[in-house]
Amino acid sequence: MTDPVSPSTPEATSEPPLRPRRHSAGWRWLNERLDLSAFYQKYGRKAFPVHSTFFLGEMALFAFVILVLTGIYLGFIYVPSTAEITVQGESVPEAYASVRLIETIPVANLLRNTHHWAAHLMVAAVLLHLLRIFFTGTYRKPREMNWVIGLVLLGLTLVAGFVGYALPYDAYAVTATGIGFAIARSIPWAGPIASELFFGGAFPTLGSLARLYTIHIFIVPSLLAIVIGAHLLIVVKQKHTQPGYARALAEPGKVLGVSLWPYQALLAGELLLLMFGALFLLSAVLPPHPLTAFGPPGPATPEVKPDWYLMWIFGFLKIVPSQASFSLFGATIGPTFLGGVLFPALFFGLLTLTPWVDRTNRRVLRRFEYLEPVRQSPLRLASGMAVLVFIGTLFVAAYYDTFGLSLAQIWTIVIVVPLLAGVATWMVATRTTQAEWFDPRESLVPVPPQPVGLTPEPVPAPAPLPSPVMEPSLDRSLLTQPGLDGP
């Protein structure tokens, strides 16, 4: 295969035609009945751009698949009941006993650990995918809708992770879920309904675990499946954005890349297997805490901290002073509501508005079809960095008392450090942005280095650019056919 980003030459475009493909008897049998070739013509040749960051969305998707598969297995053994049973002379909740049982069966334990790490991987992949979309400006027209849908997916992923906390029903699970219950109950007016819906009115109470289990195994995964489906349908309809190099190679309005079948499908299969392998390895060497570490729930409340992906909310909760409470139309707005609901909701709300705040998105006729180099928009880069640093300071806030900081000091850090990071990034980006401007000629015609201290030799005029083609010097069989991804 030739270099995928090198320019096409007249010779390269006149390669011999592809040999007609031979199909197996099984495929022919199915094709006669289901007209598979029509299906392949319509979807199988969809172009997938070749760029590593385009796998992040797929990683999120596959982590979800792994969670569902391992979750189904765990569901065969897990019992969502808080009834006390006696195991080896010890009285423990049935849910706790069933997870202890899982821990003693090697395969079940491996799959439980894999389920645990897949949840972390899914959140990480979703966040990295979001960062790629944000920093390259691909949330802009026409993809605003998928940005908002993506944020719903992020919210659902975080909820799925949180609801899973309760299930092992050890002292850690009950304490952490209790914090979630307090947050739900703190919502003015809607608090009682929320706590009734999600926790059965109180926590822990007889019906709590059954509700949380149904939400965890059925409601949230079904919503995720439906919303992921909508997200991907929109990607298919609107087509992928493309990495910068494709600007010089693809025809306007067409996407350059490998076809869904069989090349992207093979890459995806490989990625899924790699992820399984990595998760098995992680599960074997770094298991989550054993249930005996905290033991069954008892009168003592252990000191717990949430996982990294919920730590920012914990940080908010910690820095709102306990006296921050007032009445509004008869309802009490307290610190738990401010830190656990209002601040995170405002944060999500601001993220949602991103495509409409970005002034480059206001040129009505324009469609943004290429990834923008990150430094090309210093303001976006600076605000993104400020937000990332802000989240980082909320991690510090979650431990501020352990670090010996006062409330005033941590507030100063949370406000000032992100601002400074944003300004510093903006200054660096505005000074270096020129180097990043994408010019297809630069990638095609390398400029020879100038000898230092000598009179520069006149640089020969660059050769005229070849007209853009859909099938440049790439291996033709790897590319979608022209016209497929056209408007």
State the Cα–Cα distance between residues 337 and 389, nearest whole angstrom: 24
Q: Report the candidate in 147, 166, 275 with the shortest Cα–Cα distance to residue 220.
A: 166
The terminus-to-terminus CA distance of the chain in angstroms comes to: 28
Task: Pick from 158, 194, 219, 235 the residue near ligand HEM by CB under 6 A.
Answer: 235
Task: Pick from 95, 133, 184, 484 the residue near ligand HEM by CB under 6 A.
Answer: 133
Eight-class DSSP state of 242: B
Cα-based distances in Å from 335 to 305, 320, 332, 400: 18, 6, 10, 17
State the Cα–Cα distance between residues 273 and 349, nearest whole angstrom: 36
User: Is residue 183 within 8 Å of 316, Cβ to Cβ?
Assistant: no
Choose between 199 and 370: whose C-beta lies nearer to ligand HEM.
370
126 binds ligand HEM (CB under 6 A): yes
From the CB of 469, what's the least distance to ligand HEM, in Å? 22
147 binds ligand HEM (CB under 6 A): yes
Choose between 79 and 119: whose C-beta lies nearer to ligand HEM.
119
Task: Pick from 69, 77, 151, 268 the residue near ligand HEM by CB under 6 A.
Answer: 151
Task: Pick from 99, 111, 153, 397 the residue near ligand HEM by CB under 6 A.
Answer: 153
54 binds ligand HEM (CB under 6 A): yes
Region near ligand HEM per CB under 6 A, out of 99-107, 151-159, 198-206, 432-440: 151-159
Other CB atoms within a 10 A radius of the CB of residue 357 amount to 12
Query: Total binding residues for ligand HEM by CB under 6 A?
Result: 26
Q: Which residue has the tokens 């008869």?
A: 330
Choose between 61 and 79: whose C-beta lies nearer to ligand HEM.
61
From the CB of 331, what's the least distance to ligand HEM, in Å? 31
Q: Which H/E stretch holds residue 48?
A: strand 47-48
CA trace torsion 337, 341, 343, 348 (10° rounding): -170
146 binds ligand HEM (CB under 6 A): yes
Region near ligand HEM per CB under 6 A, out of 58-66, 247-255, 377-385, 452-460: 58-66
From the CB of 244, what's the least distance to ligand HEM, in Å? 12
Q: Which conformational region is residue 10 in: left (phi greater than 0), alpha (psi within -120 to 50 degrees), or beta?
A: alpha
61 binds ligand HEM (CB under 6 A): yes
Task: Pick from 46, 143, 185, 216 the residue near ligand HEM by CB under 6 A.
Answer: 143
Helix, strand, or coil (residue 159): helix
Q: Which residue is nearest to ligand HEM (CB)?
A: 150
129 binds ligand HEM (CB under 6 A): yes
From the CB of 57, what's the least distance to ligand HEM, in Å? 3
User: Is residue 170 within 8 Å of 297, Cβ to Cβ?
Assistant: yes
209 binds ligand HEM (CB under 6 A): no
User: Is residue 321 within 8 Å of 407, Cβ to Cβ?
Assistant: yes
Establish whether the linkage from the previous residue to 262 is cis, with ω within 30° of 0: yes
Task: Pick from 80, 93, 137, 150 the residue near ligand HEM by CB under 6 A.
Answer: 150
240 binds ligand HEM (CB under 6 A): yes
User: Is residue 157 within 8 Å of 231, Cβ to Cβ?
Assistant: no
Task: Pick from 47, 111, 154, 176 the residue near ligand HEM by CB under 6 A.
Answer: 154
Choose between 100 and 143: whose C-beta lies nearer to ligand HEM.
143
Q: Which residue has the tokens 């019992």?
A: 79
Choose between 61 and 374: whose C-beta lies nearer to ligand HEM.
61
Q: Report the candidate in 224, 74, 70 with the shortest Cα–Cα distance to residue 159.
A: 224
Cα-based distances in Å from 90 to 69, 84, 296, 300, 350: 32, 10, 10, 18, 50
Task: Pick from 241, 283, 383, 480 the residue near ligand HEM by CB under 6 A.
Answer: 241
Establish whether the linkage from the previous residue to 440 is cis, with ω within 30° of 0: no
228 binds ligand HEM (CB under 6 A): yes
Q: Which residues bind ligand HEM (CB under 6 A)?
A: 54, 56-58, 60-61, 64, 126, 129-130, 133, 138-139, 143, 146-147, 150-151, 153-154, 157, 228, 231, 235, 240-241
